[in-house]
Chain A
């Protein structure tokens, strides 16, 4: 057992931390207010190599371990988890190609993202298929050397700015999850409709849209894996990406805790800083303990991925616990700020709204419990 970070890991984390502090955090409130896409921040992040973290060196990426990636992501999320979500969306969309694609497909659909700033979206969820993702009903019908896609997708991160979409559709609904197939849709093909950005409670800097597919033609060579491989590819993708989402939670929770500590030392009631009161101290102590527990769970899940071992259980532990912890920490941070915590003038109100989404996206806390129970009872 060795909990020590390498010199290089510290350097990666420090660059991400500096970027979060100097570039992301100062504009986080602005983008939360306007809901505009933070292209300036994201371009700078891309220049520094803070995007497409999952891409291996052979396809132009940095070849970072999953542990390295989570260390970077915690810092970005501590700056603004909405911006971190938009910066991390490419990873979620490129992972299926890295998991199930051929060498040629990785060259075509992954490498260009490392060369210039481009966006990709992962398209699994549908209006009628959220937690029951296997119940998706977007269809893909073979027509010569093309497939024809019809259906709609919901809550698609960066869908409004994406240059490429990783779409899951069924070639035969009767086959259930065995009919699900993964496709890469490039650019803005005829028949692809992009909805207006959703007006969300939190993580408002990330672009989230609905997509419609009306007879969208996709060449056969854009199919990732075989027909019916899509479900396995999607699940493997989520196993890999859950540690990242868990670290989003740790980052947003840590930001809330840091604000709460600073405020508790400054805010005076009954003639002294409220940090002197045990009621506040205990909240802070629980925040620190639980955030660290969430971080360690996440690092273990990431480490398992790096070892090539099955990480389903630990990834779900981490995602569930970290998301719920972030929500609790942000709630307590608002409590410590009192009335000021409920005001948009102070930062924790935003964090409270941002944290909520992490209990929902990429598998709700309930779905994580389901996955965990299934593993326990099998």
Chain B
């Protein structure tokens, strides 16, 4: 699978990115009364922030390469097209909606994406490391497994996000000679890996700062094509292997106290909190 291995001077890199519609994490999320799901009334949605980073990276690779194609895929209801339009306003070329009203678990998402990869033959798949709704962080790894491709998770960059390299919008993933070089964020440091293409990469927050959807980009995005498929079209059964049994809110934080002096503070840290 995959097409030609390409180097820095070769052309037409094709990159597939996932874009998931998620609940905006900057709002108050409440669990519903029977704990079966969250209260969806009045909830705002946005593209998964990790996916925006994936799209940004794909666009930078395409721009550095000179040409190519960035295709975005979303699994969900018709409304997910909004999030794909955002990615297309950033610069992605077209979208594929796999339309389903069912809750799709990570495994089913990976199996759907594997079928899309078979149809599209991309050189590289870039996914967010996780979606900020259910925080599973499994889809990229499962997808690589189903495809039999190499993978590099948690892609980051050496330079800081305030660096000149970042300001110059340079890609953090180095694509050349049929390989992608990925800087991985691991415990206590960074690891550099070369992965043979085609490959699956998942993005860490510290990879790039995604661009804005510009107004001209937004106007162009409405004319970009979105293909609609269903899991059935792809022959994928989305019956969940993992079922959410119950959701609950974290326990309420107790109010803090104000201590009268340093001596009391030290005493409480030692005897109550037992941290010193």
> Which A residues have a C-beta under 8 Å from some C-beta of B?
7-8, 10-12, 14-15, 18-19, 47-50, 62-64, 72
Contacts of B212 in A (CB 8 A): 15, 18-19, 48
- Pair A62/B85 contact, Cβ less than 8 Å: no
CB distance from A8 to the nearest CB of B (A): 6
Prevailing SS type, chain B contact patch: helix
A12 near B214 with CB under 8 A, answer no
Task: Kindly provide the distance from the CB of B236 to the nearest chain A CB, expressed in whole angstroms.
Answer: 27
Inter-chain contact A15/B215, CB cutoff 8 Å? yes
B218 touches A8 (CB 8 A): yes
A50 touches B215 (CB 8 A): yes
Given contacts A12-B218, A15-B218, A63-B219, contact A7 B213 (CB under 8 A): no
Q: Say yes or no: A49-B89 contact (C-beta < 8 A), given A7-B82, A62-B219.
A: no
Q: What bracket does the count of chain B residues touching chain A fall in?
A: 10 to 19
Contact with A along B244-275 (1 / 0, CB 8 A): 00000000000000000000000000000000
Q: Which of A11, A18, A48 has the most CB of B within 10 A?
A: A11
Q: Would you list 22 pairs from A and B whose C-beta atoms are within 8 A, ordered by A residue?
A: A7-B81, A7-B82, A11-B82, A11-B86, A11-B89, A11-B213, A11-B218, A12-B215, A12-B218, A14-B213, A15-B212, A47-B214, A48-B212, A48-B214, A48-B215, A49-B214, A49-B216, A49-B217, A50-B215, A62-B215, A63-B219, A72-B215
Q: How far is the CB of B91 from chain A (nearest CB, A)?
A: 13
Minimum C-beta distance from A117 to chain B (A): 14
Residues 118-168 of B contacting A (Cβ, < 8 Å): none
Which of chain B's residues have a CB closer than 8 A to the CB of A48? 212, 214-215
**Cα of A18 to Cα of B212 in the assembled complex, Å:** 8
A11 proximity list for chain B (CB < 8 A): 82, 85-86, 89, 213, 218, 221
Select from chain B the residue with minimum beta-carbon distance to A23.
B212
Closest approach, in angstroms, between the C-beta of A60 and any C-beta of chain B? 10
Contact in complex: B222, A8 (CB < 8 Å) = yes
A64 to B89, CA, bound (A): 16
10 nearest CB pairs, A to B: A49-B215, A48-B214, A11-B218, A49-B216, A49-B214, A15-B213, A62-B219, A48-B212, A7-B82, A15-B212
